[in-house]
Amino acid sequence: MFGLTGQVIGFIAKDIVWNTVYFPIWWYTRGILRILVLMKHQVSSLARTLHLPTLFKYLLKPMYGYTDIISRIISFYVRIVQFIVLLLITLVVVVGLVVLLAVWITAPVLVLYGVAFHLGWIEFNLYALIAWNVGLPV
């Protein structure tokens, strides 16, 4: 009886210890890798939806089959504007994804700092520093 209870407690202890140790390791190795893969997928899916490569390829090709010079010039400008707009959208998404990566990397540190700071274990006030830097009234 004692043996079985011991085994069960062993199982649980091993699981808890392992998960506690492996959590930060995973976060900064495989976790980051997953975020990078996600970023890649999102960017390529966006590119597919916005057809950026196609647009770039046909930058000099007149639109709607009108090949006279005026149409060519209009086409070129329209395509440039379109290209810039779509590029901006892409940029916004890319920035968003980079922010996600940054949040992923800093989250555990910030969270641990938050706990330690509010419990009074750390006196250095990072929040006040940030707020002061961004000009918040603190």
Residues forming the site for another protein (CB under 8 A) = 7-8, 11-12, 15, 19, 22-23, 26-27, 30-31, 34, 48-49, 51, 54-55, 57-58, 61-65, 107-108, 111-112, 114-115, 117-120, 125, 127-128, 131, 136-138
Count of beta carbons in the 10 Å neighbourhood of residue 36: 13
Give 80 or 107: the residue with its C-beta nearer to another protein.
107
Q: 82-107 burial, b for 16+ CB within 10 Å, e for fewer?
A: eeeebeeeeeebeeebeeeeeebeee
Q: State the nearest-atom distance from the C-beta of 94 to another protein, in Å.
A: 19
Q: State the nearest-atom distance from the C-beta of 98 to another protein, in Å.
A: 19
Q: State the nearest-atom distance from the C-beta of 136 to another protein, in Å.
A: 6
Give 75 or 97: the residue with its C-beta nearer to another protein.
75
Q: State the nearest-atom distance from the C-beta of 88 to another protein, in Å.
A: 18
Radius of gyration of the chain (CA): 27
Largest CA distance in the chain: 92
Give 70 or 119: the residue with its C-beta nearer to another protein.
119
Q: How many whole angstroms separate alpha carbon 49 and alpha carbon 116?
A: 45
* Token couple for 16: 């808890």
